[in-house]
Structure formats: C-alpha cells, structure tokens
Amino acid sequence: MTVFSLEGRTALVVGVANDQSIAWGCARALHAQGAKLAITYLNEKAEKHVRPLAEALGAELILPLDVARPGQLEAVFAAITAHWGRLDTLLHSIAFCPREDLHGRVVDCSAEGFGQAMDISVHSFLRMIRLAEPLMARGGTCMTVSFQGSGKVVEHYNIMGPVKAALESVVRYAAAELGPKGISVHALSPGPLRTRAASGIAEFDELLDAAAERAPTHMLATIEDVGAYAAFLASAEAANVTGGVHAIDGGYGIVG
C-alpha cells in the first residue's frame, strides 16, 4: 500500500555528483513515488557521471548548473518554466569551501574562502527559493542538506560548521516568510555518511567509525534513508510541517 504519492509532481534536484550523493538518494526516492525530475550537473567533467544516472530515472530535464557562474541558475529555472510551467519540489544539496580554508582553523579562515563557502553553500539556496517561489503558486517544498556540525563542534568540520549554522537559520526565516503561500522549507541533517563531498574532510573515516559506534542503532545513515525522508516531506501529507532541521542519523545526535 502506498502511504503517499508524488504522482504528477515536479522536482528539481541539485547536487548529484555520482551514485553516492545524497542528492542521488533523494532523486531516486522522489522518482519512486512518481515525481517528474529535473536534475543538474556541475560541469562537463561531471556530466559523464550524472547524465547516465539522470537518464536511468527518466529525468525530463538534465541541465548544467554551477551556481558560481552568472546566469546558469536563471537558465535552469527558465527551462523548468518552459517545460513544466511550475515546480513542486526543490532539493538543494551543494556545498563548497576552498581546501585551505576547510582544513584550517575557523579563526584563520580567509575572507575570500568564507565568502565563497557562504555563497555556494547558503546563498545559492536563497537564490533557488526566490526563483522557485513564482513556480509554486499552489504550494511546494524546498529542502537543503545540513550537518550536526552546525550546532556542535565536530572535529575537522571547521568553517563548514558556521556555514551550516547559517544555512539552518535561512531555513527558519524562509519557512516563516513562505508559509502563508503553502511553501515549506526544510533542512535534512544526516549524521556522517560516505559521500564524495565528505571525503574532503580530514580523518573522516575515523568520524564514520565513531558515529556508528555511538549511534543507538549502531548504523550510519544512508542516502536511501535521507531520500525516503525527503520524499515524505515533498508529499501533501507533510504540508503542515516546515522550518525544521530533520535529524536522519540513527539517533547519533541525541547521545551525550
């Protein structure tokens, strides 16, 4: 029995890099519930990895998107407007920080590195929401991906902790502003899990082992876990849920 359905709904998924990406887990789950997909890839180098995945899900739009390149984000939404004329779900799963700033102390982070991390990891979500808003005339769901380093000091997560804290604050304010229009805004917060992006964090394997040991379930979250939660939040049944940071971590975050 299907508890909820996304049949006939449309979804933009940003952040698929390979079949280990959180965004890929979300795309698969949205598709499984019946959503029509638009999937983006970062650049030509990434396209060869992303396009076959997107095609396997029958994505109706497969588009380039580097949010740091002027005009690309607007082009994506122009294509969605021309193809569907509306958008029901937005999934934002991108983050970036220059390596030297990511691996250094927070107090030593350069202004340039901090600005770039905030622009790509946080402000790009705001820009996407702003472009999605007129396409969500009948309501919709906007989601991003955070991490518990936003509220607690996680060794080696460094400047991305404050960046994710800003992202979570953006979720709350956007949810308050868009709630009257029936648009919900969420942050998905899995515990440590294996993705290509996470591999850039120093000593991440040790963090994964410690998380599995500490979590009440003794299991790490998977991209399928995150996808299942995202699909529910995109459904009509979750229309009265908004503004939250949703922990998907086997209980890791509750353990002192």
d(CA 120, CA 21): 17
3-state helix, strand, coil in the chain (%, to 5): 50, 15, 35
Q: Is 157 part of the annotated catalytic residue set? A: yes
In angstroms, what CA-CA distances link 233 with 121, 142, 185, 216? Answer: 21, 9, 9, 24
Q: What is the DSSP letter of 24?
A: H
pLDDT tops 60 at residue 196: no
Contact 183, 137 (CB under 8 A): no
**Cβ count near 112 (within 10 Å):** 10
pLDDT, tens only, 113-156: 999 999 999 999 999 999 999 999 999 999 999 999 999 998 88
Q: Is 45 part of the annotated catalytic residue set? A: no
Q: Which of 36, 41, 164, 229 is catalytic?
A: 164
The predicted structure's pLDDT at residue 208: 78
What is the layout of strands, in order, in the sheet containing 140-145? 61-64, 36-41, 10-14, 89-92, 140-145, 183-190, 245-248
d(CA 37, CA 51): 13
The predicted structure's pLDDT at residue 198: 55
Q: What is the DSSP letter of 253?
A: G
Mean pLDDT of the chain: 94
Q: Of the ranges 6-10, 88-92, 216-220, which one carries the lowest mean pLDDT score?
A: 216-220
Q: Which of 157, 173, 181, 229 is catalytic?
A: 157
